[in-house]
Structures are given as structure tokens and as C-alpha cells.
Structure 1
């Protein structure tokens, strides 16, 4: 029996529900506002109920719209999984895992977090790095299976995202041998007279570092700010400045960048999160990552 609606109409409604307005949905879909409005009207006509109602300058879901949106989430999640499932059914050994990596998260930490799945036979790992807000938009469109970040997803009534804590790490200060030796004398006050490198204001770690400086009465000489933690460490290794790093990956960091530990950044921790679109995770590799986390 043919369904009583058009799946294209449903997709347009689903995007409008996520974006909270026809104009934003049209911009995301790359079509005219009139096209989106026509698709919505056609879907409501086919279903015989109103799915959206005006609220201020935007739209909100009716009770029927909430039910339709919940089902649409499942439908398009299944649609995104269809290619992989078909390949598996056809005997392909390829297992795809698309991961978004927030640019504020240390890359050595990312390697550690993904370690439980890296030995999967036929794994095809797709990593995309960028600002968390862009990655979350791609996650909501089911272009990614999960996002690894240094903070949970911010509240958004138009996006149903779920954060899963993967762990945390103490933070310490590091630098190349000569700079580290100079910094150990009178640490932590020495950080007020030596150059330091910091993550940019977009990082979840930055406010905690600024509070740490304030607690110790320090006014650091900031020689550089970086969105990318790996880039910050690379420049720190050249002697540009001392930099903070997660203790959990210290052995790998010391070996890769030939730096030394100066001292603890007491009271400062870095957190690691996996963000997904499902409360009950279905992707087997994502489930394995969560189970491997402390308390998973």
C-alpha cells in the first residue's frame, strides 16, 4: 500500500522542525522559501493535521508535529544507515564510522578515545575536524555518527542531541627542556614572567585556565592563542612558550613533542564528551566507545 504522504515533503518538514523556521530551513536546503512552504502545506494536507503553528517570528510544533518529528528522526536515521546495512548484507566487510572532532580537543586524546574500535576488521574511519557548532549541525543531519568534544552539546530545542561523558583528565604545564627548566624555578609564579601559549576563547579549557591564573595572582605573557591544540603543542615545542596539556596522554605527548612537564595546573581538568543523536545508541562501534569509557 502506498504511504499517504510524500517522503520529500516529510524531509522538508523535518528540516523546518530542526531549524525552527522556514527561512532557516530554506537556507540549509538551498531552496526558495516558497518551495519549503509549499512542501509543508502538501504534507499537512496529505496527513489532514496541522504540524506547525506560528510563535513569535518562528514556528513551533503542534502535538501532531511533535509526533511526526519523533518518527521522522527515526526514519532519516534509518535512511542514513541504509547504505552501510546494504553493504553488510551483501557481504562487504567495510564498517563505516564518521566522527566529528571538535578543534579544541587534543588529538592525542582523540586517538586514545577511538582506540577501542581501531582494530575493527574492515573499519573505514572518517574524521572531520572543526568548530563544535558546525559539527553538531552535521550530526543533526546524520552526516556524522558522533562528535567528540571538550564540552557537552548546548541546549537547543530544535536539535535532539545526547551527551555521553567519556572521561576527564588533570592538566599540567609543558615546554621544551630549556624553557621547562626555567619555569620550574619558582613555579607557578614563573608563568608570570615566561611566555605561555593558550587555547583560544572557543575552548572549554580557557575559562578554567584564566581562573587558575587569577587564583595565583598571575598576569601571563601570552605569546600565542590557538584553536587547534596540536598546533599549540607544535609551536610550544619550538620554544615559543609553555603550554597546558592533558596529563592522561602525557607519555605520548612527551615522546611526540620532545617536551618536559613543568608542574600541575592544580584544580583544572579537561573533560571529554561523545555527542550523538540517540539516547539509546544503535551504532555498534559508537556503543563500544561508550562502553570502554570509565563507568561506561
Structure 2
């Protein structure tokens, strides 16, 4: 960094972009002699030639091409930032970095984040999925603006974060049509020893669902543990077993994965929260995500059997 003069780097970038010192000097409002001297000073500081002359034109050396690739990214980004800063504050795009717990179903995650994208201002959305603990760590380090999760922060973290309730949906069971037909008769006893597709993630609703199975004297036959909510639905579509998903998205699950809604279990719920830092404000996009979503509460769809 001691040898890197950013004005010289900018001059080099313009020369490489324009293809000649004469054209670059005109664009920079400098004399060709001055610009040539600045380039020579920069090459001397770096200890390597950036250009070679070929048929009265300048060509980048291998070293020059490497430097140019970094400079081009830097100054393109700087230009984009300049364009944003020239806009009135109310027209500038909003930045929204969202952490989404891997245990949240992907369709639910979409419903929770989509409202922010419908604002009148442009929103640049960046989503990261992962374990809630790791996402909260990144939230505390200001790498994220908000975390969407199915559990509240631990009491030890209560002073650092604020938890906002968004929705609470009962859970439903789904299966491919043939399997669903056999499970619907004499429910819930029909579930006994039938193939079940379980999530391998530590989702709170899974513990509640297992307790419900036990209360109904249902012996659970787990045929696969999957840590991806979309993949578990694909397995279900192929008839490998039945699976659980929030009742709130039952219509979409049935339509997208061509499965059938078997039954809703009101005693088992999927609770959804937004977590923000306890101190500091947030922009309009984050504020939109903090609104409760009653349309996701106990929404039982009349799906085709």
C-alpha cells in the first residue's frame, strides 16, 4: 500500500481503457507529457512495466493486465457509488441484508421477504441462509440487517437483540397422491409405521411433532433425514414418504410439488420471528419485514385431495 498512489492508479486505468496516452490525456484534461511522466513514476514505484509498445500502440504486459483487472473493478464500483450519491436521498436504493434460518421453509422465507421488494423505492436484497446462532453472530457484527428465524434469541442475548413476532402457523402433513390416500383413511392411526421424511435440522416444530406422534401412539418410521426444505418436498413428491410443512403454504406446496394435503395438526405450530439489533435504527425495507403477517396465521387451504 505504501507504493500505491491511487491518483496514479486512476491515470493508468484511463490510459489502459482508452488505449493511448493521447486520448487519455484529452479525457483527463492533462498534457500527454504530464500523463506520460505520471505513468513512468507509477511504474517505477511498482517496480514493473505496465505497458509495452507495439506498432505505435500500447499493450498491457501480463503484470499490467493483473493491475488493470483490480483497478477496473475498483473504479467501476466507485462510479456506481458516485451515481447513487448523486441521486436525491429519497430515491437512493435501500440495502437489505437478510439472514434466513435454514430450518425455515423456503416458501415461508419468500412470503416473509417479498413485502420489502414491493416498496416504491428500489431495494437491493442480499439473503444468507444458515444456523440461527451463526446468523445472530453476523447480525451482531453488522454483517446482516435482520434475521428471520423460527426461534427467539437465548435469554443471554436478550440485551443485544430484539425479537419481533411475525406469524404462527399450524403444521400439516403432505404426501404423494397414492400414499396420501392411504394415510387419510383412519387418520391419525394410519400414520403408524408409515415412511416419514424428517428434517435433520434442529427446527422447534420437529420436537413438537414428535411429541404429538407419541401422544397418538404412532410409531414413526423415519426413512430419510434431509436438511433442505425444498429437497424434502421433492422426495415426498416421488412417493418416498410423507412430510410436514406449515399449513400457511399448503396450497403452494401442493401445487408446486404435486403432493396432497393429508391433514393439519393444530397442536403443532411453526412460530416465526424477525430479530434485529437492540440498538440503532433501520431503513424502510427492514421496517417492512418487521410487520406481522396475519395472512400466514393458521391459514388452512382447501387443497384438492
Which residue does the alignment assign to 1:210?
Answer: 210
* Aligned residue in 2 for 1:141: 141
Aligned to 1:274: 274
- Structure 2, unpaired ranges of 5+: 1-80, 296-305
Asked if structure 1 preserves the Cα contact closer than 8 Å seen for 2:123 and 2:285, the reply is no
Q: Which residue of 2 aligns with 1:223?
A: 223
Contact 1:99–1:128 (8 Å) recurs in 2? yes
Q: Which runs of 5+ in 1 are unaligned?
A: 1-84
- After TM superposition, the score normalised by the length of structure 1 is 0.66
Query: 1:248: how far off?
Result: 0.6
1:90 aligns with 2:86: yes
**CA separation in 1, counterparts of 2:159 and 2:240?**
41
Larger radius of gyration: 2
- Which residue does 1:104 correspond to in 2? 103
Aligned residues: 212
Counterparts in 2 of 1:125-274, with a 5 A limit?
Answer: 125-157=125-157, 160-200=160-200, 202-274=202-274
Q: How large is the RMSD of aligned CA atoms in angstroms?
A: 2.4
Bigger shift: residues 185-194 or 96-105: 185-194
Q: Could you say what secondary structure the match of 1:190 adopts? A: helix
**Secondary structure at 2:232 match in 1:** helix
In the TM superposition, what is the alpha-carbon distance from 1:98 to its structure 2 partner?
0.5
> What residue number does 1:35 align with?
none
SS in 2 for 1:118: helix
Distance 2:273 2:182 in 1: 35
1:293, CA displacement in angstroms? 3.2
User: Which stretches of structure 1, 4 residues or more, deviate above 6 A after TM superposition?
Assistant: none
Residue 55 (structure 1) aligns with: none
Q: Is the 8 A contact 1:171 1:247 kept in 2?
A: yes
**Alpha-carbon spacing, 1:283–1:193, altered in 2? closer, same or farther (3 Å):** same
Q: Give a deviation string over 1:41-88, Cα, whole Å, max 9, x none.
A: xxxxxxxxxxxxxxxxxxxxxxxxxxxxxxxxxxxxxxxxxxxx9976
Deviation for aligned residue 1:228: 2.1
Structure 2-normalised TM-score? 0.64
Give the whole-Å Cα distance in 1 for the aligned partners of 2:131 and 2:174: 25
In structure 2, the CA distance between the partners of 1:142 and 1:93, relative to structure 1 (3 Å rule), is same
